[in-house]
């Protein structure tokens, strides 16, 4: 097919170990995506890294924490998991929105009027609650008040640490087993214990005699765990499936919200425009009504803001696939990058959506500017095609996309409604886009949180 080799990223040490060391150094300095941008700058947008080990090892890398679930499965078992999860988004639209509203009100009650606050932990708490609602039909808070008070933050910390290890394991490729410390094993154990507990409750409820079931239990609502219980009683299988969805739903949306509020505080022109839109559609201030779903849909600029946030900070910035059979990539081979590239069965293709979303040849000279208007007439979206990929595409496209955009949109609208003049806290140094500290696990989070001065008046 006329394939030609891609440009090489020149490793100086055997097995590409110098790349690994550099990656580890940048990960520690919270600048790893900056490093990837430099690699793309020097080696081209498509290039080959001779690391002598595959990237297609996700199941093995993830196994100790995540086991086997929608993120780690392929083929038949993946298809099955996807079919089990899909009705959650299709049939519970009303309950899902009501739950998001409830959880956002609880978040707002923890934001001090006109004070400075790091919103990031609150966002993680919010998305944890909404995702556990999807999974178990009830939020963590309702579990907490009954039985497992105090465990959330322990779980949250353990789950974050566990994911940190998963990303180290990913970078180590075939040497993933080196990242297996007692600390990692403890993080897995705590994460598992927490989810096991929630599953046990669901098992007990499912096995309770009909007359003992509460009205809540009997409501005809599609709950993922109950659908799973129809299929299996294997506790590890149940745990793995739930943890996989928790990962998909919690961190991605929390990071999107953190970047959104960080960017809004740093771009008063954009905030001003958004504030005016929200004021026009539903009103501002403490006494203004909560936006309805229809009103949210009317907020066109809010939609553009989120699109632009997910361009600059796609929650899943780096991803990979391994070829199931020998195939080709259409471009990237030869000195001019215009020939196809051969990918043999088992070889891996890594792709950095973060770098792609910042390409000047796709987005123009102002690619690094936060400018929601670029999406205004829909032309750019049509032009860039797969050049814009925050939710992936194809058969494994994000299942929670609509849910996530609803949650992120509603939360942003409520925060701006309540604190229309939010800003960067006094004394915080200005940081340019790309140069801020970032923590890359499977998602990319701001390295220094999301500290914002919440102002209700100018």
CB atoms within 10 A of CB 152: 19
How many angstroms separate the CA atoms of 93 and 122, rounded?
24
Q: Which alpha helices (H) appear in 48-150, and where do they start and end? A: 58-66, 75-91, 93-108, 120-136, 140-143
How many angstroms separate the CA atoms of 248 and 320, rounded?
16
Tokens 């298809």 correspond to 79
User: What is Dmax (Cα atoms) for the chain?
Assistant: 73
How many angstroms separate the CA atoms of 412 and 406, rounded?
10
Q: Which residue stretch of 140-148, 194-202, 276-284, 310-318 sits at the interface with ligand HEM (rule: CB under 6 A)?
A: 310-318
Least distance from ligand HEM to the Cβ atom of residue 207, Å: 26
Least distance from ligand HEM to the Cβ atom of residue 231, Å: 17
User: Applying CB under 6 A, does 31 fall inside the site for ligand HEM?
Assistant: no
How many angstroms separate the CA atoms of 310 and 390, rounded?
6
Q: Which residue stretch of 36-44, 160-168, 230-238, 311-319 sits at the interface with ligand HEM (rule: CB under 6 A)?
A: 311-319
Among 134, 199, 263, 413, binds ligand HEM (CB under 6 A): 134
Residue nearest to ligand HEM (CB): 400
User: Applying CB under 6 A, does 400 fall inside the site for ligand HEM?
Assistant: yes
User: Applying CB under 6 A, does 396 fall inside the site for ligand HEM?
Assistant: yes
Among 390, 409, 420, 446, binds ligand HEM (CB under 6 A): 390
User: Applying CB under 6 A, does 399 fall inside the site for ligand HEM?
Assistant: yes
Among 132, 141, 319, 423, binds ligand HEM (CB under 6 A): 319
User: Applying CB under 6 A, does 56 fall inside the site for ligand HEM?
Assistant: no
User: Applying CB under 6 A, does 252 fall inside the site for ligand HEM?
Assistant: yes
Residue pair 371/296 in contact (Cβ under 8 Å)? The answer is: no
User: Applying CB under 6 A, does 404 fall inside the site for ligand HEM?
Assistant: yes
How many angstroms separate the CA atoms of 4 and 332, rounded?
8
Is the Cβ of residue 205 or residue 404 nearer to ligand HEM in the bound state?
Answer: 404
CB atoms within 10 A of CB 280: 11
User: Applying CB under 6 A, does 392 fall inside the site for ligand HEM?
Assistant: yes
- In this structure, what token pair is assigned to residue 407? 């949650």
Is the Cβ of residue 116 or residue 227 nearer to ligand HEM in the bound state?
Answer: 227
User: Applying CB under 6 A, does 424 fall inside the site for ligand HEM?
Assistant: no
How many angstroms separate the CA atoms of 319 and 232, rounded?
31
Pairing state of beta strands 438-440 and 116-118?
unpaired
Is 103 labelled a binding residue? no
How many angstroms separate the CA atoms of 411 and 416, rounded?
9
Binding-site positions for heme: 398
Binding-site positions: 398
- Binding site residues, ligand HEM, CB under 6 A: 70-71, 82, 85, 131, 134, 245, 248-249, 252-253, 256, 310, 315-316, 319, 390-392, 396, 398-400, 403-404, 408
């Amino acid at each position: 097919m006329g394939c030609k080799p891609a440009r090489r990223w020149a490793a100086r040490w055997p097995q590409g170990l110098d790349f690994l060391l550099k990656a580890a150094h940048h990960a520690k300095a919270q600048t790893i995506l900056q490093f990837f941008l430099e690699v793309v700058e020097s080696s081209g947008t498509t290039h080959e890294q001779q690391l002598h080990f595959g990237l297609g090892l996700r199941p093995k890398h993830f196994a100790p924490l995540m086991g086997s679930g929608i993120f780690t499965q392929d083929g038949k078992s993946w298809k099955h998991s996807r079919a089990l999860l899909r009705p959650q988004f299709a049939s519970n639209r009303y309950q899902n929105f009501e739950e998001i509203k409830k959880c956002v009100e609880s978040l707002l009650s923890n934001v001090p009027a006109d004070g400075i606050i790091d919103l990031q932990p609150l966002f993680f708490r919010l998305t944890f609650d909404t995702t556990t609602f999807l999974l178990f039909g009830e939020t963590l808070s309702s579990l907490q008040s009954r039985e497992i008070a105090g465990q959330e933050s322990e779980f949250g910390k353990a789950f974050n640490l566990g994911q940190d290890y998963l990303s180290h394991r990913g970078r180590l490729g075939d040497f993933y087993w080196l990242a297996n410390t007692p600390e990692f094993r403890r993080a897995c154990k705590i994460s598992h214990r927490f989810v096991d507990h929630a599953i046990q409750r669901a098992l007990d409820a499912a096995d309770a005699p009909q007359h003992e079931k509460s009205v809540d239990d009997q409501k005809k609502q599609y709950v993922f765990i109950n659908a799973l219980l129809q299929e299996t009683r294997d506790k590890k299988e149940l745990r793995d499936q739930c943890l996989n969805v928790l990962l998909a739903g919690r961190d991605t949306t929390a990071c999107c919200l953190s970047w959104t509020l960080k960017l809004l505080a740093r771009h008063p022109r954009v905030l001003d425009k958004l504030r005016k839109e929200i004021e026009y559609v539903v009103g501002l201030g403490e006494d203004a009504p909560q936006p309805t779903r229809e009103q949210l849909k009317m907020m066109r600029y809010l939609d553009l803001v989120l699109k632009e946030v997910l361009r600059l900070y796609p929650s899943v910035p780096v991803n990979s696939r391994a070829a199931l059979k020998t195939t080709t990539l259409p471009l990237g081979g030869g000195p001019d990058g215009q020939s196809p590239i051969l990918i043999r069965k088992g070889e891996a293709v890594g792709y950095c959506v973060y770098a792609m979303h910042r390409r000047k040849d796709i987005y123009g000279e102002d690619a690094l500017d936060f400018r929601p208007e670029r999406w205004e007439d829909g032309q750019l979206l049509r032009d860039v095609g797969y050049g814009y990929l925050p939710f992936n595409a194809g058969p494994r496209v994000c299942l929670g996309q609509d849910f996530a955009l609803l949650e992120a949109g509603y939360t942003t609208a409520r925060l701006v409604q309540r604190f229309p003049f939010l800003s960067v806290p006094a004394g915080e140094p200005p940081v340019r886009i790309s140069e801020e500290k970032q923590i890359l696990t499977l998602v990319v989070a701001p390295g220094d949180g999301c500290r914002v001065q919440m102002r209700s008046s100018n």
